[in-house]
């Protein structure tokens, strides 16, 4: 498991993950009300990294720490 710091931009026109040097910027279309943007962030990052993603801290902030746990493939 690894953690990264992200900056969320809600109410965006497009959904995107932009990797910068120290920070990952996540743009989501959802508004920051009732956890809608947080759910969209988790869903988008899960697809982007092909892993389980959860918000560790910053649920009420635009800057968040997320944990990324790689999905184990069982043969």
Domains of the chain: 2-70 (3.30.1200.10)
Per the CB < 8 A criterion, the answer to whether 1 and 71 are in contact is: no
**Predicted model pTM:** 0.89
Which residues does residue 17 pair with via DSSP β-bridges, in sequence order?
26
Confidence (pLDDT) at 12: 96
Does 71 have pLDDT greater than 80? no
**In the numeric block, which tokens belong to residue 54?**
């959860």
pLDDT in tens, 23-66: 999 999 999 999 999 999 999 999 999 999 999 999 999 999 99
Residue whose C-alpha is closest to residue 37's, from 61, 68, 5: 61
pLDDT of 1 over the 90 cut: no
Evaluate the CA torsion angle 54, 6, 68, 50 in order and state its sign: positive
């Amino acid at each position: 498991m690894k953690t990264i710091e992200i900056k969320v931009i809600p109410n965006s026109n497009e959904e995107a993950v932009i990797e910068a040097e120290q920070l990952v910027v996540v743009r989501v279309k959802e508004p920051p009300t009732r956890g809608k943007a947080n759910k969209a962030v988790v869903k988008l990052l899960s697809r982007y990294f092909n892993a389980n993603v959860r918000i560790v801290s910053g649920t009420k902030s635009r800057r968040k720490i997320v944990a990324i746990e790689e999905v184990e493939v069982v043969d």
